Amino acid sequence: MNATLLKRLFRAIHSGSGQDVETLCRRIVDEEKKLGHERVAEDLGLILNKVSGSKSERQPASSTQAGALAPLPTSRRDSAPLFHEVTLGGLRHDMVLPPAVESRFQRIEKELAARSRLATFGLKPRQRILLYGPPGCGKSLGAERLAWNTGLNLLKVRFDTLLSSYFGETLTNLRRVFDAAAAAPCALFLDECDTLARSRTERNDVGEVNRITNALLEMLENYQGQGLVIAATNLDSSLDSALFRRFDEVLKIPLPAISEIYRLLTTTMAALPTEKSIKWKEVARDMDGMSCSEVVQVGQNAAKHSVLEGRKTISAEDIRFALDEIHERLHQAP
Ligand SMILES: Nc1ncnc2c1ncn2[C@@H]1O[C@H](COP(=O)(O)OP(=O)(O)OP(=O)(O)O)[C@@H](O)[C@H]1O
Ligand SMILES: [Mg+2]
């Protein structure tokens, strides 16, 4: 086991910071998984989730713990929920990222875990995060990972109910969402936030759009919650520049480089052995320009092809088959 992690865990226990202990335990689970100790990782994860679950059950109703959230707010007019809540157990968190992006993710997680220590020096963690970049490279997955690593439930805003056609109702809905996010620690996720805050120059119905954009800016600025507000978009240029400035961290998740394509492909196919003759460099180079999501699909389809052909090892031919299939599909795409 990673000695640095162990030392940090012992220090956190010594300092009595329950939040730090939990975050570090989650790191250990991750680490064990990466080492291929799936069974140990699964057992440790289950214990940890039970501990967090029983901790939140012990809290009184007025508690500010993530597990003790008040009932989700609903749209006043038709009582449809304004967000969908994903609890810790349902969050995905394994990601392949360029080292520089990975370390910026880790910095956000570390700062939030150390928020009480930072507060003693009058410092605040980064809490307002904007993730942007091309489709299928991990913006939505990144939000889940941030929530998982900080031990928070993820509240995914449902824009379909939030964006009401009734005049003025969208603003009320937005306010209720931010009020709920401030009431208990959670990771509030505004996915595809450009739906809400399109550039002022891009639309003609400027009145209502401006009001919504301004309200969003104000709510972001006044956010005093204990958790995170994460927004995601695959646009950059047409987003309002004032919106960019309201975030503590603006993180671009780019297309995977060759080395990330290789890592992603091999981890996706890790359940089956692969033939020694596969020329990985060539395969990864062939996939240059693909999104992470497409790379994952190639890996899964190659593995499925091998299984369906009755073999127990993934061959170069299985990968070629999956690659031809995706190239053909990308070629057909409008
Ligand atoms: N960095 C990554 N590491 C591992 N898997 C990834 C990564 N990025 C994407 N994936 C895979 O691709 C799928 C889609 O990714 P995700 O939904 O996070 O993309 P996105 O950036 O939010 O795309 P969109 O702009 O279309 O919303 C994920 O469920 C996961 O399987
Ligand atoms: Mg997404």
Length, in residues, of the chain: 334
Q: Give the distance (Å) from ligand 1 centre to CA of residue 141.
A: 6
Give the number of whichever ligand sits closest to the CA of residue 135: 1
Q: Give the distance (Å) from ligand 1 centre to CA of residue 95.
A: 9
Residues 153-195: tens digit of each pLDDT: 999 987 777 776 566 778 888 888 899 898 889 999 998 887 7
pLDDT of res. 126:
97
Of 3.30.565.10, 3.50.50.60, 1.10.8.60, 1.20.120.430, the CATH number of 258-332 is: 1.10.8.60
User: In terms of DSSP bridges, do strands 83-86 and 154-157 run parallel, antiparallel, or are they unpaired?
Assistant: antiparallel
Report the C-alpha gap between 325 and 230 in whole angstroms. 35
Query: What is the pLDDT confidence band of residue 213, given thresholds at 50, 70 and 90?
Result: confident
Question: Which residues contact ligand 1 via a Cβ below 6 A?
Answer: 95-97, 135-141, 234, 264, 292-293, 296
Kindly report, as residue ranges, where domains of CATH 3.40.50.300 are found in the chain.
Answer: 63-252
Atom in ligand 1 nearest the alpha carbon of residue 97: 1
Higher pLDDT, 257 or 9: 257
Mean pLDDT for the stretch of residues 223-228: 93
Give counts: helices (H), strands (E), the chain. 14, 6
Atom in ligand 1 nearest the alpha carbon of residue 131: 21
Give the number of whichever ligand sits closest to the CA of residue 97: 1
Mean pLDDT for the stretch of residues 45-72: 52
Atom in ligand 1 nearest the alpha carbon of residue 192: 27
Name the CATH architecture for the domain at 63-252: 3-Layer(aba) Sandwich (3.40)
% residues pLDDT > 70 (the chain): 81
Kindly report, as residue ranges, where domains of CATH 1.10.8.60 are found in the chain.
Answer: 258-332
Going by alpha carbons, the residue nearest to atom 30 of ligand 1 is 293
Q: Evaluate whether 195 touches 159 at the Cβ level (below 8 Å).
A: yes
258-284: burial string, b at 16+ Cβ within 10 Å, e else: eebbbbbbeebbeeeebeeebeeeebb
Query: What is the pLDDT confidence band of residue 210, given thresholds at 50, 70 and 90?
Result: confident
Give the number of whichever ligand sits closest to the CA of residue 296: 1
Q: Give the distance (Å) from ligand 2 centre to CA of residue 17.
A: 33
Going by alpha carbons, the residue nearest to atom 11 of ligand 1 is 293
